[in-house]
């Protein structure tokens, strides 16, 4: 059987082609004995601007709102049309038995492939490659267990729903507020409420009014007893006067040992928050960095909302812990099949673990150090965050 594989980016296509044996470079794709591998260059097709539906929308008028497309139009950007034509030709070749959607295993990756597939008018059966790591073994395992593309129809529907909501709110809201206030006002489904939250918080900080409070402390033999906060200074004075010159007796001292559980693994949001706190990275910078790491087979799939792994990953997790810390912790604390939907938590890969032993002396055993540049010995590690255990 001969099949076509379409990845999201050239770098991913190259990694896949090496695993499935597509080594011959052609114009816009790689070819093997029974397969062809190409790529999408990210979002090849996006929803058209209002003026493509009706020329009168070239002028922004409040009375034309709201703009509600009856039939949504997808357009391929001018700088990507040449490659889209290559994909369209490949998707229409009848020699292929099926096409594999190898775009990123998530909502956006599903949309990127489906839009190109639909615009090309392809009739090829679709299979889905769903992997969380770009390691060779993970890619091979994914091809050994390809899914039916129809299983991800709802994921594509969710992506289209979000994209249409972005378009409707962005196009209509931006025009409405711009016309109302006489200057360009950019409105977005996520951008605007987020900006409102930041503005509200900033207003609270700027308008914060300090309120004094009072406490009374008793000290003796290294022990400090502190009262609750009191709004009135007179109440604190009364308590102080009642205690002055008096004896206090400590009835008992109790010592307790408390154990604190290790933090959960990283999902994307937590990783972005930590990277901002420690290194000052923005959310988009962190995503870009960790996406590059994923494509270089150093970490698992980044766009995840889970902080857990599945039961079948316990052995891998144990190996990672043993490598980085020399110990095996309570792996079961981060194992929960029910809390893993599309992808498990972000982890360094076993390939990264093996490279860290020889590539760079600056990579310590207790953590995988990632830096946005190159290390002094030109090792292949790129990044900018620590994956703490």
- Secondary structure of residue 155 in the 3-state scheme: helix
How far are the Cα atoms of 188, 331, 365 from residue 172, in angstroms, in the given order? 10, 50, 53
| Pairing state between β 3-7 and 35-39 | parallel
Which DSSP category does 201 fall into? H
HSE-CB for 323 with a 13 A CA cutoff: 20
How far is it, in rounded angstroms, from Cα 101 to Cα 114?
8
How far are the Cα atoms of 14, 87, 218 from residue 25, in angstroms, in the given order? 10, 15, 80
- Secondary structure of residue 102 in the 3-state scheme: strand
Peptide bond into 204 cis (omega under 30): no
Is residue 105 a contact partner of residue 342, using CB atoms and an 8 Å limit? Answer: yes
How far is it, in rounded angstroms, from Cα 273 to Cα 190?
18
* Torsion from C-alpha of 63, 67, 71, 76, nearest 10 degrees: 120
Q: Can you say how many angstroms the Cα of residue 78 is from the centroid of all Cα atoms in its chain?
A: 28
How far is it, in rounded angstroms, from Cα 329 to Cα 321?
7
Q: Which of 117, 301, 308, 324 is catalytic?
A: 301
b/e sequence 244-253, b meaning 16+ C-beta within 10 Å? eeeeeeeeee
What is the per-residue DSSP string for 6-58?
Answer: EESSHHHHHHHHHHHT--EEETTEEE-SSEEEEE--S--EEEPPGGGT-GGGG
How far is it, in rounded angstroms, from Cα 370 to Cα 344?
20
Residue carrying structure tokens 């889209």: 84
Active site residue 3: no
Is residue 187 a contact partner of residue 177, using CB atoms and an 8 Å limit? Answer: yes
Q: Which residues are catalytic?
A: 301
């Amino acid at each position: 059987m001969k099949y076509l594989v379409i990845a999201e980016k050239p770098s991913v296509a190259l990694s896949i082609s090496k695993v499935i044996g597509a080594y011959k470079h052609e114009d816009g794709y790689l070819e093997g004995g029974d397969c062809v591998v190409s790529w999408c260059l990210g979002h090849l097709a996006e929803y058209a601007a209002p003026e493509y539906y009706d020329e009168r929308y070239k002028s922004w008028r409040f009375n034309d709102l709201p703009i509600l497309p009856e039939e949504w139009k997808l357009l391929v950007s001018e700088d990507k049309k040449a490659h889209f034509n290559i994909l369209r030709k490949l998707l229409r070749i009848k020699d292929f038995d099926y096409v594999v959607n190898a775009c990123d295993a998530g909502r956006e990756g599903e949309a990127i492939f489906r839009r190109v597939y639909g615009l090309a008018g392809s009739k090829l059966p679709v299979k889905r490659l769903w992997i969380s790591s770009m390691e060779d073994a993970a890619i091979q395992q994914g091809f050994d267990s390809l899914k039916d593309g129809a299983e991800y129809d709802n994921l594509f529907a969710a992506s289209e729903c979000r994209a249409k909501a972005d378009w409707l709110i962005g196009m209509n809201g931006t025009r409405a507020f711009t016309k109302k206030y006489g200057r360009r006002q950019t409105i977005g489904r996520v951008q605007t409420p987020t900006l409102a939250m930041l503005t509200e918080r900033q207003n609270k900080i700027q308008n914060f009014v300090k309120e004094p409070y009072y406490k009374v402390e008793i000290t003796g033999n290294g022990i400090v007893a502190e009262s609750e906060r009191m709004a009135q200074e007179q109440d604190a004075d009364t308590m102080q006067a009642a205690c002055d010159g008096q004896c206090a007796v400590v009835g008992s001292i109790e010592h307790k040992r408390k154990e604190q559980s290790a933090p959960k693994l990283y999902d994307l949001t937590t990783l972005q928050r930590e990277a901002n706190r420690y290194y000052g990275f923005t959310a988009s910078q962190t995503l870009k960095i960790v996406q590059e790491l994923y494509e270089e087979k150093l970490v698992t799939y980044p766009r995840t909302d889970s902080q857990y792994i599945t039961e079948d990953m316990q052995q891998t997790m144990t190996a990672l812990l043993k490598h980085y810390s020399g110990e095996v912790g309570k792996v079961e604390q981060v194992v929960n099949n029910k809390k893993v939907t599309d992808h498990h938590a972000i982890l360094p890969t076993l390939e990264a673990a093996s490279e860290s032993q020889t590539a760079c002396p600056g990579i310590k055993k207790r953590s995988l150090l990632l830096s946005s540049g190159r290390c002094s010995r030109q090792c292949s590690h790129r990044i900018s965050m620590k994956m703490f255990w």
